[in-house]
Amino acid sequence: MSSTMNTGEQIPAIQTLRRGLHHSPELKRGFAVTLLLAVLATAGNVVVPIAVQQTIDRGLTSPTGPDVDFMVRMGLLAAAAVLLTSLASYGMISRLFRTAESGLATLRIKAFRHVHDLSLHTQNTERRGALVSRVTSDVDQVSQFLVFGGMLFIVSIGQMFVATVIMIWYNAWLALVVWLCFLPLFLSLRYFQQKLSRAYGVVRRQVGVLLSAISEPVVGAEVVRAYAIEARTQQRIDEAIDRHRQASIRAQGFLAFSFSLGGISGGLANAGVIVIGIWLGFADRITPGEILAFAFLVSLFVMPVQMGTQVLTEAQNAIAGWRRVIGILETPADVVDPGDQGSSLPRGPVDVRFDRVDFSYHDGPLVLRDLSLEIAAGTRLAVVGETGSGKSTVAKLLTRLMDPVSGTVYLDGVDLREISGESLRRSVVLVPQEGFLFDDTLAANARYGKLDASDEEIIASAAELGLGDWLAGLPRGLQTRVGQRGESLSAGERQLVALLRAHLADPDLLVLDEATSAVDPFLEMRIGRALERLMSGRTSVTIAHRLSTAENADEVAVIDAGRLVQRGPHADLVAQDGPYARLHASWVAQHGHV
Amino acid sequence: MTGTDALGVGRTRATTMREGFAILGVAIRREPKVFAVATIGSLLFGALTVADAWVLGWATDHVVLPAFRDGRVDTSLLIAVVALFVGVALLRAAGIVARRVGAGIMQARMWSHDRRDLTRQYLSLPMEWHQRRPTGQLLSNANSDVEAAWGPIAPLPMALGTVAMMVIALIQMLLADWVLALIGILVFPMVIATNIIFQRVVSPLMTRAQALRAELSEIAHESFDGAMVVKTLGREDEETRRFAEKAHQLRDTVVRAGRARAAFDPALAALPELAVLLVLVVGVSRVLAGEIEPGAVVTVAYLLTIVSFPIRAIGWLLGEFPRSVVGYERIRSVLEESTRVDYGSETLARSGPGAALSLDQVGFGYSPETGLLDDVSFDIAPGSTIALVGATASGKSTLTALVGRLRDPDRGRITIDGTDVRHLRHGALAAATAMVSQSAFLFEDTVRGNVTLGGDFTDEQVWEALRIAQADGFVAALAHGLDTELGERGTSLSGGQRQRISLARALVRRPRLLVLDDATSAVDPEVEARILAALRSEGAAATLLVVAYRKATIGLADEVLFLDDGRIVDRGTHADLLTRNPAYAELVNAYETEEPA
């Protein structure tokens, strides 16, 4: 019943826009006003060409002679128009930034939240880095387009529209000449844009290769040094650097070429306007001022053509980014929290029942088959089995990180799927293999278990777990910064913090997926003792990677190839001729314990 | 390196400006030819932009107005108009291409030069230098800092061309009419000044936004990485709040930058427009007074219209300076680092029986206050297997790093076959010994590439090494066997699989001394047992130094070195140490002492 992350790739462009507006309603707010301001602002661009025409026809070549009074009046009026349209520009740009950024902040936050609402399994269908970029750089790309490219697009279209209207008003034939000069370019924009976006696609891929090559001598410094492979590493880096450089230069070339074409069309249009304008002038169908106004109006066409390929590329990237973000929001959550509709578990040790549970990842083979298992309240159960036997899946089903494909898991007789998320998280706590810590203080990490825990409470909890002297031994105590992913602490210490966190959470059912492989025996025993204390008075299920854990449990369940094959106390199982006895013999051979 | 530098705080504007130009000077000296092409292209563009206005003015006076006055026009004049407009446009386009491509090549080459130099430094600076610096910082030195340092190259030719264009335009205005030219002399500097103020206002905001984007991405990364914890402890709301707070800060910063843009953009557009209107009004009265021809008015007005947009390039150039100076300094601080690992000229036998390892009064500390290893002396006979046992932080990994010469001791010496490792030439140690650490680093390469590391090994040799490391099974099951690409840092494999590949990498070299620093920690005990058994039988000739916890591993060793708090406190067989050293017994028997009675 698990789903894959929606890539959003199949959403059509128009649908993307519609879904995007649906998820960020802020974008629609006041759009009419912004558009009105945009029209006013672009209209401002034709003030100067009209003023030039008026100057020549009425100021300079008027039959009644040059008219200075008219010029001053016209100049003041035009200046007022320029100032007014500047104000409109200010309003348009600042509104555009405000609505775009507010809308996209909302979208980002919604998508971030939705990622956490998806099951781990769905999350894992995409690399972490890719998931992060969906709520960061993909959204940035949309924002970039809305406030720059998008604005440029609106202004350009508006500008060309207004210029065309005025040209037609002056002379429709000359307007046609101008359009004929630019039309081939407009039509080929798409072609250039495709070439350009392919070229930049290559650049982006090369950036990825480059970054990964550069990270080798940094992240893998020890290996490079130990095997003395500096020359080979440098060669790989140099190749990546060269390929990236070539790709960048090639893309830059395309961009320069497509950019330069606008000016050529402009020159052609100017020549055409003057030659055909004079010819029309003989028929008294146009004035000299109008011809010259065209030269100024043509310049309004040049920029949109020059920037066209870039804007189209930005638009394409923005749509793609938008799709990926929307893709997250439209990925159905496969583990649905019943919320307030769900039931609440009473406090106190929980009894657990697996009833004919099957599980598989996607459409893969069954990882658990027909598993039925009862765990009485207050029991300490160890689940053992070889790597890949499905024992970790038991922990994930118990904590509802995933739901069974068929069958049911009951806590205190209630179907796990019908328990509200809040109640479930209060009653059931998983201590995972890797005690993930956040880059913060030790205290802040412990508080993940109980948000309002005071420092005294944390210290008391640590003492109860027998970790008092360890905590006291840290120079900065609870204020110790744990570093990224807790890497300033040793693997064993991270495990201790995770246990402390679980103890503060005070669960009724504790699920432990233990992993203490990198810990020396002393620390491991300390963790073992802390665990013992943590488990007392609760139901606990331990996924045991070391058989010493199983020996200490009340009961052992042995999983093999997804099936429950043995069940009972350690002493009984070790005496039977079965899988457990074999696992145990191998363990003893390793650790020399008889 | 610090946050204040990023914003250019604590640096006067004059110094930033001077340093910015100095950095450009470095680039120009390094790539003079490309720079010349780009600049000539830009000058061509500038000159022809001005020429365009001149052509329009000339056409007004000599073609359009006479044609209307006389009612006829010379065909040759019309041909001249077309030739001039189209010719100017074509040459101008050539100028644009030369300028942009030239600037692009120059920038890309400067990136390449710096990236090559930086990575050469990374490869030759000693490990202690690496350990003092966060990985992320070194990566951003070679990535974003390089890009920032050479950011001003992109607008440089355009800005130079613009300056030329402005000068030509002013001269042309002066030739047309000195009164109208005065307006231009006033307006150009105003546009430049407004643009510089705009860059000053907006660039700290952009820097801040960039920093916030990085922080936002860190939060998302951490939160998604810790998804299991967030989910199992029901902390989705708190995480969302943390992310939302940063997202809102980013939004507010970008909106503020947007407001600055909203104020300056129209102002920058309005200044030349108002100037043109002034030129028209004043121009008409000058024409009326008979001082100038109408064409002069048109020329000046058109010049103002077309020159005032490119002028902004000067502001773009200066706006890049603060970022560029900070990036450049960060790069320099790495490039100027001159500590090197000193190599000698001695070599070791590449093949043959196990090597003899000897440590003589070795002392080492990561800092002067914290001595980690003190007076460590021992000899290991060729071909023997020695287990190094000690509690966490007793100095085991440091000791293996010294043997592999990832670090040099502060005191004492380490010899292999009687030669001080510091006297070996580069590569000699690696040719005869191999070290495998707990964290297995894999390259973004195939399985074969990760095992051979470019060395000359046959497929049989690679499979043999994989077999001893118990990795042949899962490698054979991969889609393309030895040719399977492992992806960045081998993320497609499990921890234990990565460790086994990195073990095979050591074994394929048939080292005479093999140092395993807890190199099988993520491997199942049963698999580990098979690896060790294979090592004992196949690699019998090699000397083996193993950092170990598991009794089975220790039991395979001829002798045990017991390390406690940086000193070798005991040495002997496992059985001897168990009986005579209580601290040793307590450490390795920890499992049993915990057993219920």
- With respect to residue A192, please indicate whether it lies within any of the assigned structural domains: yes
DSSP at B227: H
The whole-angstrom separation of Cα B142 and Cα A210 is 10
Task: Please report the pLDDT score of residue B139 as a whole number.
Answer: 85
* Same domain membership, residue A134 and residue A106: yes
Task: Please report the pLDDT score of residue B376 as a whole number.
Answer: 92
Task: Please report the pLDDT score of residue B251 as a whole number.
Answer: 95
The minimal CB distance from B294 to the residues A60, A90, A94 is found for A60
The class of domain B10-335 in CATH terms is mainly alpha
What is the overall mean pLDDT for chain B?
86
Q: Say if CB A235 and CB B167 are below 8 A apart.
A: no
Provide, as residue numbers in chain A, all residues whose Cβ is less than 8 Å from the Cβ of B238: 451
Task: Please report the pLDDT score of residue B10 as a whole number.
Answer: 47
Best mutation target among B119, B237, B563 (most A Cβ atoms within 10 Å) is B119
* Same domain membership, residue A383 and residue A249: no
Provide, as residue numbers in chain A, all residues whose Cβ is less than 8 Å from the Cβ of B130: 218, 221
The minimal CB distance from B426 to the residues A123, A228, A587 is found for A228
- With respect to residue A1, please indicate whether it lies within any of the assigned structural domains: no
Q: Check CB contact of B288 with chain A, cutoff 8 Å.
A: yes
Q: Check CB contact of B334 with chain A, cutoff 8 Å.
A: no
pLDDT at B529 over 60: yes
What is the overall mean pLDDT for chain A?
86
pLDDT at B73 over 80: yes
* Same domain membership, residue A178 and residue A100: yes
The minimal CB distance from B104 to the residues A249, A520, A522 is found for A249
Q: Check CB contact of B63 with chain A, cutoff 8 Å.
A: yes
* Same domain membership, residue A457 and residue A325: no
Q: Which residues partner with A384 through β-bridges?
A: A558
CATH of the domain at A401: 3.40.50.300
The whole-angstrom separation of Cα B119 and Cα A215 is 9
pLDDT at B2 over 60: no
Task: Please report the pLDDT score of residue B9 as a whole number.
Answer: 45
For chain B, the structural domain boundaries read: 10-335, 357-593
- With respect to residue A414, please indicate whether it lies within any of the assigned structural domains: yes
State percent of chain A over pLDDT 90: 26
- List the single residue in B with minimal CA-CA distance to A260: B93
Give the architecture-level CATH label for domain B357-593: 3-Layer(aba) Sandwich (3.40)
* Same domain membership, residue A424 and residue A308: no
The minimal CB distance from B90 to the residues A112, A264, A437 is found for A264
Residue-wise pLDDT for A158-181, tens only, equals 888 888 998 999 899 999 999 999
The whole-angstrom separation of Cα B597 and Cα B593 is 9
Q: Check CB contact of A552 with chain B, cutoff 8 Å.
A: yes
User: How many Cβ pairs closer than 8 A exist between chain A and B?
Assistant: 433
Q: Check CB contact of A490 with chain B, cutoff 8 Å.
A: yes
Task: Please report the pLDDT score of residue A17 as a whole number.
Answer: 85
The whole-angstrom separation of Cα B121 and Cα B88 is 49
Residue-wise pLDDT for A70-100, tens only, equals 888 999 999 999 999 999 999 999 999 999 9
Instruction: Domain count for chain A, please give it.
Output: 2
Contact: A485, B551; criterion CB under 8 Å: no
- With respect to residue A334, please indicate whether it lies within any of the assigned structural domains: no
- Rounded mean pLDDT, B316-331: 86
Contact: A93, B124; criterion CB under 8 Å: no
- With respect to residue A186, please indicate whether it lies within any of the assigned structural domains: yes
* Same domain membership, residue A459 and residue A400: yes
The minimal CB distance from B101 to the residues A44, A51, A252 is found for A252
Task: Please report the pLDDT score of residue B538 as a whole number.
Answer: 64
Q: Check CB contact of A278 with chain B, cutoff 8 Å.
A: yes
B322: closest CA of chain A, how far (Å) = 22
- Rounded mean pLDDT, B443-465: 91
CATH of the domain at A189: 1.20.1560.10
Residues 6+ apart with CB under 8 A from A372: A353, A354, A355, A356, A357, A564
Task: Please report the pLDDT score of residue B525 as a whole number.
Answer: 67
Q: Check CB contact of A324 with chain B, cutoff 8 Å.
A: no
Q: Check CB contact of A261 with chain B, cutoff 8 Å.
A: yes
Contact: A485, B89; criterion CB under 8 Å: no
Task: Please report the pLDDT score of residue B458 as a whole number.
Answer: 94
- With respect to residue A335, please indicate whether it lies within any of the assigned structural domains: no
Best mutation target among B282, B443, B592, B595 (most A Cβ atoms within 10 Å) is B443
Sign of CA dihedral B258, B263, B264, B270: positive
* Same domain membership, residue A372 and residue A282: no
- List the single residue in B with minimal CA-CA distance to A511: B232
- Rounded mean pLDDT, B444-453: 91
Q: Which range (A43-52, B172-181, B326-335, B419-428) has the least confidence?
A: A43-52
3-state secondary structure A42-86: HHHHHHHHHHHHHHHHHHHCCCCCCCHHHHHHHHHHHHHHHHHHH
The CA dihedral of A235, A241, A242, A246, to the nearest 10 degrees, is: 160
* Same domain membership, residue A189 and residue A51: yes
Please identify every stretch of chain A with a pLDDT value under 70, giving residue numbers as ranges. 1-3, 62, 65, 515-522, 590-594
Q: Check CB contact of A72 with chain B, cutoff 8 Å.
A: yes
pLDDT at B39 over 90: yes
Q: Check CB contact of A62 with chain B, cutoff 8 Å.
A: no
- With respect to residue A341, please indicate whether it lies within any of the assigned structural domains: no
* Same domain membership, residue A353 and residue A225: no
Q: Check CB contact of B228 with chain A, cutoff 8 Å.
A: yes
Task: Please report the pLDDT score of residue A594 as a whole number.
Answer: 37
Residues 6+ apart with CB under 8 A from A105: B244, B247, B248, B250, B251
- List the single residue in A with minimal CA-CA distance to B575: A592
Q: Say if CB B286 and CB B177 are below 8 A apart.
A: yes
A210: closest CA of chain B, how far (Å) = 9
Q: Check CB contact of A361 with chain B, cutoff 8 Å.
A: no
CA nearest neighbour of B299 among A568, A279, A52: A52
Task: Please report the pLDDT score of residue B241 as a whole number.
Answer: 95
Contact: A517, B596; criterion CB under 8 Å: no
If you compute the radius of gyration of chain A from its CA atoms, what whole number of angstroms results? 35
Coil, strand, or helix at residue B321?
Answer: helix
Q: Which residues partner with A368 through β-bridges?
A: A359
* Same domain membership, residue A150 and residue A112: yes
Residue-wise pLDDT for B340-375, tens only, equals 888 989 988 888 888 999 999 999 887 655 568 888
pLDDT at B12 over 90: no
The whole-angstrom separation of Cα B33 and Cα B31 is 6
pLDDT at B276 over 80: yes
Best mutation target among A54, A97, A242, A424 (most B Cβ atoms within 10 Å) is A97
State percent of chain B over pLDDT 90: 38
Tell me whether strands A509-513 and A428-431 are parallel, antiparallel or unpaired. parallel
Residue-wise pLDDT for A566-580, tens only, equals 999 998 998 888 888
pLDDT at B6 over 50: no
Identity of the amino acid at B552: A
Which residues form the domain of A238?
A: 13-329
Task: Please report the pLDDT score of residue B367 as a whole number.
Answer: 63
Contact: B101, A78; criterion CB under 8 Å: no
- Which helix (H) or strand (E) segment holds residue B559: the answer is strand B559-564
State which of A329, A360, A391 marks the end of a domain. A329
* Same domain membership, residue A367 and residue A280: no
Provide, as residue numbers in chain B, all residues whose Cβ is less than 8 Å from the Cβ of A522: 391-392, 587, 590
- Rounded mean pLDDT, B511-532: 81
Task: Please report the pLDDT score of residue A516 as a whole number.
Answer: 59
The minimal CB distance from A215 to the residues B139, B258, B591 is found for B139
* Same domain membership, residue A315 and residue A432: no
The whole-angstrom separation of Cα A371 and Cα A563 is 6
Task: Please report the pLDDT score of residue B540 as a whole number.
Answer: 56
Q: Check CB contact of B281 with chain A, cutoff 8 Å.
A: yes
Q: Say if CB B497 and CB B474 are below 8 A apart.
A: yes
Provide, as residue numbers in chain A, all residues whose Cβ is less than 8 Å from the Cβ of B72: 282
Contact: A296, B305; criterion CB under 8 Å: yes
Provide, as residue numbers in chain A, all residues whose Cβ is less than 8 Å from the Cβ of B426: 228, 230
Task: Please report the pLDDT score of residue A404 as a whole number.
Answer: 92
- With respect to residue A4, please indicate whether it lies within any of the assigned structural domains: no
Residue-wise pLDDT for B549-572, tens only, equals 777 778 888 899 999 888 899 999
